[in-house]
Amino acid sequence: MEDYMDKIIIENLELFANHGVFPEETKLGQKFLINMELYLPTRKAGYSDDLTESVNYGEVSHFVTEFLTTHTYKLIEAAAEQTARAVLLHFPLIQKLKFSIHKPWAPVGLPLSDVAVEIERGWHKVYLAFGSNMGDRRKYIEDAIEELRNLEDCKVGKVSDILETEPYGGVAEGAFFNGCLELRTLYTPEELLEKLHAIEAHGNRERKMRWGSRTIDLDILFYDDEVISTPELTIPHIDMANRLFVLEPLCEIAPYLWHPVLKKTVLQMKQELKGRKDIVLFDLDGTITNSKEGITKCAQYALKAYGIDEPDADKLEFFIGPPLKNTFMEHYGMDEETAVAAVAKYRERYHPTGIFECSLFDGVEDALKSLKRKGYRIGLASSKPEESCRRILEHFHILSYFDEVVGATMDGRIDSKYEVLQETIKRMHIYDTTEAVLIGDTRFDVSGAKEAHMDCIGITYGFGTKEELQEAGAKAICDSIEEAAEYIERL
């Protein structure tokens, strides 16, 4: 549980209630005194002077008074437990609660000034792994998560994407759907384990053999920063550092989560286990497709509208790669307003016709297929509008190889290679850019990658020259897509 420095203290809240094991206690009632320490961040309230940024201690006092005067318990241990739970559920800003209930009139037949029970309760941060390799795998997982959401003492937070992975341990048959989720809970580790087993039972989980097939599997990976080792429970999960199908989705939602035993982050564990770059990003024009014909014809079409005749398409290759607006401004001296209009003219021909005046370079599909089969995540990062990128990939039936497709936006918000890569990093949850490599054909790809702190492999079969790629600082230069893929596998 997180240790909050800030707290609100309520002392000696007096109330008259009916708790006790003797009949007269439940019938006649007696005085109780309540003390509470409410742990929560108060800094925002301190600066804003806004009550909505904190907890109204008067409201808490009335809530506790009403709860204890409308419920009856034999034991003050039960009164304390149930009241603390009710407070934590009702006031979401309170992260931890120290609660004591005093019974100064306790009928024990002896002189005493007080008897009390004091407890500490609070929300705990938990990370769970889930998996299924039988039946409707996605439905089993979705049903289990929904059951967790329906537990009042649990609050489901981030949920990772679902990955399809091969079985682990050599026993189970059939690929697994795996993922991880974040959870806040009032349960102890043992109580939570019991609840998870109940959810597994609802999903017809049968525990026949270790690492066997299962309809649903729920494992506790972390519970705060606690280290627990009992016959029933080991936290952190004992084998998680060797399980990529756990580390991949966990890294998506909590890359910097600290392992209290191994003294490493989740991201570090994943990197050590993989031992390689595992995300490959591709440029489109000049890398995947030979788009010279479509781009240069559309450039000629746009320029002609401004009285500029460019009959030699080979002299218009500088349109391939950088943002169109920049090219019109830099090469033809257009002001920004005119350049924007020229881009619109270019797209007037491009969208219905020019977009498909292109072809796949040799070996592209085989390289994509090989990288995908070997577990690499693949993304497209192009300065071409994103909708156009998707249409082209669909046209050549290779869209399915890509985990994410990112292109420029029509409004200019995302335009340069660096901006496209930043959006790709965000969408693909790339927390460490050294895990990724870009394959591109021009200096714009190399400089954009360097600005985004990732390596770029230059390829010479596109529209850039070997010399410009070297000068821009490409990590390596390859003459074919197959050579680039082989180089990546050696990294």
In this predicted structure, the answer to whether residue 335 has a pLDDT above a threshold of 70 is yes
Mean pLDDT of the chain: 93
pLDDT level of residue 207 (50, 70, 90 thresholds): low
The pTM score is 0.68
Q: Which two tokens stand for residue 440?
A: 């591109």
CATH of domain 124-273: 3.30.70.560
Can you give the residue ranges of every domain in the chain?
7-122, 124-273, 279-286+358-490, 292-356
pLDDT at 277: 78
When pLDDT is averaged across residues 322-327 and rounded to a whole number, the result is 90
When pLDDT is averaged across residues 428-442 and rounded to a whole number, the result is 91
Q: d(Cα 51, Cα 230) in Å, to the nearest integer?
A: 44
Q: For residue 352, count other CB atoms closer than 10 A to its CB.
A: 9
Report CA-CA distances (Å) from 206 to 112, 130, 199, 211, 243: 55, 15, 12, 12, 22
When pLDDT is averaged across residues 255-265 and rounded to a whole number, the result is 94
When pLDDT is averaged across residues 55-72 and rounded to a whole number, the result is 98
Percentage with pLDDT > 90 across the chain: 81
In this predicted structure, the answer to whether residue 170 has a pLDDT above a threshold of 60 is no
CATH homologous superfamily of 292-356:
Putative phosphatase; domain 2 (1.10.150.240)
C-beta separation of 29 from 17 below 8 A: yes
pLDDT at 431: 80
Q: Which two tokens stand for residue 211?
A: 């690492």
Q: Whose structure tokens read 């496209």?
A: 420
> What's at 259, amino acid-wise?
H
Residue 436 backbone dihedrals phi, psi, to 5 degrees:
-115, 155
pLDDT at 373: 80
pLDDT digits (tens, 9 = 90+) for 368-425: 999 988 878 899 999 999 999 999 999 999 999 999 999 999 888 998 999 999 999 9
If DSSP states are collapsed to H, E and C, what string results for the chain?
A: CCCCCCEEEEEEEEEEECCCCCHHHHHHCEEEEEEEEEECCCHHHHHHCCHHHCCCHHHHHHHHHHHHHHCCCCCHHHHHHHHHHHHHHHCCCCCEEEEEEECCCCCCCCCCCCCEEEEEEECEEEEEEEEECCCCHHHHHHHHHHHHHCCCCEEEEEECCCEEECCCCCCCCCCEEEEEEEEEECCCHHHHHHHHHHHHHHCCCCCCCCCCCCCCEEEEEEECCCCEECCCCEECCCCHHHCHHHHHHHHHHCCCCEECCCCEEHHHHHHHHHCCCCEEEECCECCCEECHHHHHHHHHHHHHCCCCCCCCHHHHHHHCCCCHHHHHHHHHCCCHHHHHHHHHHHHHHHCCCHHHCCEECCCHHHHHHHHHHCCCEEEEEEEEEHHHHHHHHHHCCCHHHCCEEEEECCCCCCCCHHHHHHHHHHHCCCCCHHHEEEEECCHHHHHHHHHCCCEEEEECCCCCCHHHHHHHCCCEEECCHHHHHHHHHHC
Do 7-122 and 292-356 show the same overall fold? no
What residues act catalytically? 103
C-beta separation of 429 from 254 below 8 A: no
Class of domain 279-286+358-490: alpha beta
Q: Which among 274, 265, 319 has a CA at the least distance from the CA of 294?
A: 319
Q: For residue 465, count other CB atoms closer than 10 A to its CB.
A: 14
pLDDT at 1: 44
Residue 393 backbone dihedrals phi, psi, to 5 degrees:
-65, -40
Q: For residue 114, count other CB atoms closer than 10 A to its CB.
A: 10
Class of domain 7-122: alpha beta
Most confidently modeled of 142-156, 263-277, 375-389? 142-156
pLDDT at 150: 97
The region that residue 246 occupies, defined by phi over 0 for left and psi between -120 and 50 for alpha, beta otherwise, is alpha
Q: d(Cα 129, Cα 182) in Å, to the nearest integer?
A: 9
pLDDT level of residue 2 (50, 70, 90 thresholds): very low
Q: Which two tokens stand for residue 384?
A: 């071409």
Q: Which two tokens stand for residue 467?
A: 């010399």
Residue 160 backbone dihedrals phi, psi, to 5 degrees:
-75, 165
Kindly report the length of the chain.
491
When pLDDT is averaged across residues 204-229 and rounded to a whole number, the result is 83
When pLDDT is averaged across residues 110-138 and rounded to a whole number, the result is 96
| CA within 13 Å, CB half, 373 | 7
Give the chain's radius of gyration (CA, Å): 31
C-beta separation of 439 from 456 below 8 A: yes
pLDDT level of residue 273 (50, 70, 90 thresholds): confident
